[in-house]
Structure 1
Amino acid sequence: MDKVVCLPRLSRVAVCGGTHGNELSGVYLVREMLKANKKVTDKDEDNSLSVTTLISNPLATQQCRRYVSRDLNRCFTNASLYGPVSDESPYEVIRAQELNATLGPKGSPEAVDLVCDLHNTTSCMGLCVIAYSDSDWICLQIFRHLKRQMPDMQVRYLNYAISGQEAYSLDTVGKHGFGMEIGPQPHGVVRSNIYTTMKLGVQHMLEWVRLFNSGTVFEGGPVDVFTVVQNIDYPRDPETHDITAAVHPQLQDRDFCLLRPDDPLFQTFSGETLRYHGEESLYPFFINESAYYEKNIALLLARKHSVMVPAIGRSRSTEEGHKNMI
């Protein structure tokens, strides 16, 4: 058997919904979890797990809006978390500091062990685990578990780490963390199939944590990781800055299908095809995401590479884990 990487127990997990108040699968799933109990504690013979569920942006959720003043999921930089606030500060900045106090502080030993932040996209992306690392073995092993347990679902791992750019999303408050992004689903709408997929994803994630904490050793193996390279804006009128084209029909709904140089990229409103002029073939995702119009993003592009994930087990329980290896 390959060498096992031993990691600390995951004693505290947070499941967050409504970071964007109009992404309703996470909102309704967290509400259902809160009905059961705001804080569920499972105590096993040699294990305790605290699962905290919360609505990240209650005001935006109440109004069924993405955000009130600014995008909460961009407010978890050090400048936002530790800068001065007043009554005039944007609501989401104040809320980010509250969440950091509850789940963090970010980067500290007191932070929760794992944050799973629930999101929906209008893009045809299936289920994506989005993190800021291609070497966080906890997140990657959870991803491998989701792929095994959900064979009928397209499950992919996205690495958002960009050189020189600080991680800014809620999931980065925990020692480990990821966004669970599922689509397609229109914002302000809940679709039962997308909701059910998210519910299963959260259940399998918590199942993995309990197995890990109980001493199970998870075997290693290769996984495909999509790492963000760049984003592309819509073509725009140089004077008005209005968009002048839509995503080409041959590209629409083809998230994670390889985009090659000279492939159709946009179709202008007058009917002209505009082609991709990049120097390398890359994988598009968040294609025509409705919330990204305001961010001047038509789609993002990623490279795919293989990462060898090691076998992992809980610290001080390696021998027990060997017996329970899956």
Structure 2
Amino acid sequence: MDILLPGLSRVAVCGGTHGNELSGVYLVREMLRMEKGDKDMSTQKLLSNPRAVKLCRRYLDVDLNRCFTHAALNGPLPNPAPYEIVRARELNAMLGPKGSPQAVDLVCDLHNTTSNMGLCLIAFSDCDWISLHIYLYLQREMGCIPVRYVHFDVSDKDSYSLDSVGKHGFALEIGPQPHGLVRSNIYSAMKEGLQHILNWVRLFNSGVVFNGGSVDVFTTVGHVDYPRDEDTHNITAAIHPQLQDRDFCLLHPGDPLFQTFSGQTVSYKGSKVLHPFFINECAYYEKGVALYLATKRTFTIPAVRVHKEDHQDVRFPSEEEEE
């Protein structure tokens, strides 16, 4: 049975939430430049952190992409208020308010990572049929670049990122790309991915039925910090060469994890086989994260279509049906 869902009439595409992640910055700028010629869809394009973008820095005072909890958006402002806290409230007023019927229908927040993660949709929900169907569509349309869905399980905690302001939302994360520069192949892959996302929304809004299918979801279970000196708290090891650039591979107990600066191997001491990602992400050194760990689950999502009276029964076939 098809699941009926409301149409996605308001979509926001955000770049520069981290001001030195330049694929999203230049893609949004290009979209704004071409905006007069794009009349087929109501898409809001914006640079989330313009001051950080101008300085090519991740942020000025605090990480903007951690400023969208209800407490940060609605609590008393400190004096002086960090720029990103003020900016988060401005964005919440433009795109939200978070959790309200007035919020935009879909937020796609564009990010780069220095890790070898390919193209990822990163979300707080593993049962948002809109996001999961977009993921399934991207897997079919993106060709040779790997596409994965990462579920950050915050359980009963409040989601904290910009994409959580919308009724549906995710970060579109792609790498590897060093922060502070743009690589043509990474930019092009992000542009292609975003074009497919917007095309899916157009098809969905037009009444196309998207059949269900099997999806793999990587759900976070924790993270690992670098080994550190007890006195100085400086790191004493780097990611092991056998693990570097192998995001989403299987990490077994006893596998090499770090290599100390004196040349010794530090093995993975966990008891479960897991999937590491965000391996050696540059921006996470300050957060005490050398890599995240996830479990992979496979399940089937249901068919969806827009809930409107003039629905057309046009189906987008599953891979199994095409075969």
TM-score (norm 1): 0.95
Structure 2 equivalent of residue 184 of structure 1: 176
Q: Is the 8 A contact 1:292 1:298 kept in 2?
A: yes
Q: Is the CA contact 1:171–1:179 (under 8 Å) kept in the aligned structure 2?
A: yes
CA distance, structure 1, for counterparts of residue 214 and residue 78 of structure 2: 48
In structure 2, distance between residues paired with 1:296 and 1:318: 52
What amino acid sits opposite 1:26 in the alignment? Answer: G
Counterpart of 1:295 (choices 273, 287, 293) is 287
Q: Which 10-residue stretch deviates more, 81-90 or 32-41?
A: 32-41
Where does the alignment leave 5 or more consecutive residues of structure 2 unmatched? Answer: 318-323
Corresponding residue for 2:85?
Answer: 93
Q: 2:70 aligns with which of 74, 78, 83?
A: 78
1:23 to 21, 33, 38: 21
C-alpha distance after superposition, 1:168-200 (max 9, x if no partner): 000000000000000000000100000000000
Q: Which whole-Å CA distance do the structure 1 matches of 2:272 and 2:106 have between them?
A: 35
Pair 1:273–1:38, CA change in 2 (3 A): farther
Give the corresponding residue for 1:45. Answer: none
Aligned letter for 1:57? N
Q: Is the 8 A contact 1:7 1:312 kept in 2?
A: yes
Q: 2:116 aligns with which of 107, 124, 127?
A: 124
**2:314 pairs with one of 317, 320, 323:** 323
Give 1:236's aligned residue: 228
Two-structure CA RMSD over aligned residues (Å)? 1.4
Write the letter of the residue equivalent to 2:92: N
Instruction: Provide the rounded CA distance (Å) in 2 between the counterparts of 1:160 and 1:151.
Output: 26
Aligned equivalents of 2:45, 2:205: Cα separation in 1: 19
CA deviation after TM superposition for structure 1 residue 83, in Å: 1.7
Say which SS state the counterpart of residue 209 (structure 2) adopts: coil
Q: Does the 8 Å contact 2:206/2:311 carry over to 1?
A: no
| Amino acid paired to 1:5 | I
Separation in 1, partners of 2:98, 2:315: 33
2:162 is equivalent to residue 170 of structure 1: yes
Deviations 1:94-121 (A, max 9, x none): 0000000000000000000000000000
The answer on 1:36 being equivalent to 2:34 is yes
8 Å CA contact 1:41, 1:51 repeated in 2: no
Q: Which moved more, 1:28-37 or 1:106-115?
A: 28-37
Q: Which residue type is aligned with residue 22 of structure 1?
A: N
Residue 69 of structure 1 pairs with residue 67 of structure 2: no
* TM-score, normalization by structure 2: 0.96
Contact 1:247–1:288 (8 Å) recurs in 2? yes
Provide the secondary structure at the position in 2 that maps to 1:53: strand
In structure 2, do the counterparts of structure 1 residues 147 and 229 end up closer, same or farther at CA, with 3 Å as the change threshold? same
Residues 5-30 of structure 1 show CA distances to partners (whole Å, capped at 9, x for unaligned) of: 01000000000000000000000000
Kept in 2, the 8 Å contact 1:40–1:52? The answer is no
What is the letter of the counterpart of residue 270 of structure 2? G
Q: Which runs of 5+ in 1 are unaligned?
A: 43-48
Q: How does 1:274-289 map to 2 (within 5 A)?
A: 274-289=266-281
Does the aligned pair in 2 maintain the 1:132–1:160 contact within 8 Å?
yes
Distance 2:315 2:157 in 1: 40
Q: Tell me, yes or no, if structure 1 residue 249 matches structure 2 residue 247.
A: no
Quote the residue 2:265 is aligned against.
273
Q: Is residue 10 from structure 1 mapped to residue 2 from structure 2 by the alignment?
A: no
| Whole-angstrom CA distance in 2 between matches of 1:279 and 1:324 | 45
Structure 2 distance, partners of 1:312, 1:257, is: 31
Conserved? CA contact 2:122–2:151, under 8 Å:
yes
Q: How many residues align?
A: 317
Q: State the match for 1:213 in structure 2.
A: 205
**Contact residue 107 and residue 175 of structure 1 kept, 8 A:** yes
1:197 aligns with 2:192: no
The answer (yes or no) to whether the contact 1:39–1:52 under 8 Å persists in 2 is no
One-letter amino acid of the structure 2 residue matched with residue 323 of structure 1 = V
Give the Cα separation in 1 of the matches to 2:218 and 2:88: 28
SS of 1:217's partner is strand
Instruction: Give the Å deviation of 1:38.
Output: 7.7
Question: Secondary structure at 2:42's aligned position in 1?
Answer: strand
Partner deviation per Cα, 1:246-269 (whole Å, 9 max, x = no partner): 000000000000000000000000
